[in-house]
């Protein structure tokens, strides 16, 4: 992972743009909006984490929520 400010390449999270804040915290923003029903259910398009694993977990939780809503 790149320690510079700006975009960080994380191939393990396709469809999400990964950034590192000035404070070193990782953020991910989904490149495409979630469907309206998923947004209403609380799926967040931007999440954060202190480590790559925490960030991946936060992204997975949002994608899982959106999947559950679309399956109902």
Q: pLDDT tens digits, residue range 22-45?
A: 999 999 999 999 999 999 999 999
The whole model's pTM is what? 0.81
Residue whose C-alpha is closest to residue 10's, from 56, 62, 45: 56
Do 47 and 56 meet the contact criterion of CB atoms below 8 Å apart? no
Whether 58 maps to a domain, the answer reads yes
Looking at the domain assignment, is residue 33 inside a domain? yes
Split into its structural domains, the chain has a count of 1
**CA–CA separation, 5 and 17 (whole Å):** 14
The answer as to whether 1 is a domain residue is no
Q: Is residue 38 part of a domain?
A: yes
Confidence of residue 72 (pLDDT cuts 50, 70, 90): confident
Domain that holds residue 20: 6-71
Closest of 69, 71, 48, 72 to residue 59, by C-alpha: 48
Q: Tell me if 59 is assigned to some domain.
A: yes
């Amino acid at each position: 992972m790149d320690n510079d400010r700006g975009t960080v390449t994380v191939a393990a999270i396709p469809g999400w743009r990964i950034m590192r804040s000035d404070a070193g915290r990782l953020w991910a923003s989904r490149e495409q909006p979630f469907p309206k029903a998923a947004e209403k259910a609380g799926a967040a398009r931007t999440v954060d984490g202190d480590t790559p694993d925490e960030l991946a977990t936060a992204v997975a939780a949002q994608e899982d929520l959106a999947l559950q809503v679309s399956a109902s």
